[in-house]
Structure 1
Amino acid sequence: MAKKHFRVDINYNWCKSCGICYNVCPTKTIVQGEMKRPKVEDHSKCIGCLMCENLCPDFAINIVEISEKVGEKNG
């Protein structure tokens, strides 16, 4: 079974930089940036646990599963 890949989408218009997301992220995909604003440096580290998405009080985070590229072999 292929490893799933995820992308972390952060809506900065809704985010109030509370820091919950980067404090709960087990893989440190989301880290603290300037002015305590969350940032993602490497989306490939995300395991899709949804902790950040579920705990965000502003609904500013969306974890999106990236589908396999067209033409890849499935086994």
Structure 2
Amino acid sequence: MASGRIIIDLERCKGCDICREACPQDVIEFAEQLNSKGYRPAILVDPHHECTGCALCAVVCPDGCITVYRDIPQKPARPLAALMREEVTVHV
């Protein structure tokens, strides 16, 4: 399963609650302190790394202040021998 994390621009966030409502993993909460504009911005609270990087929060954010980073597990590389199994005959 993919894992992810988000970065929220705390100074641009107005604490509208739309991202928190959209998050299927329920890992977005609100900061206790106010930002310079007087809003309580959204923050990622994910001690168990449940964020999947689905990006729903970023899609619904009206101020575009959420950046999503997603780690996708890599498939193991195929050995070179497996890539060279095809037999080719060249007629001259």
Structure with the greater alpha carbon radius of gyration = 2
More strand by share: 1
Let me know the Cα RMSD of the aligned residues: 2.4
Tell me what 1:37 maps to.
41
- Identity of counterpart residues, as a percentage? 29
CA drift of 1:7 comes to 1.0
Tell me what 1:71 maps to.
none
Once superposed, which parts of structure 1, at least 4 consecutive aligned residues long, lie more than 2 Å away? 32-37
The two structures have a TM-score, normalised by structure 2, of 0.61
Query: d(CA) in 1 for partners of 2:54 and 2:44?
Result: 15
1:52 lines up with 2:50 in the alignment: no
More helix by share: 1
Report the residue type matching 2:57 in the other structure: C
The two structures have a TM-score, normalised by structure 1, of 0.72
Tell me what 1:11 maps to.
9
* Aligned residue-pair number: 69
CA drift of 1:33 comes to 3.4
Question: Which runs of 5 or more structure 2 residues have no equivalent in the other structure?
Answer: 35-39, 78-92
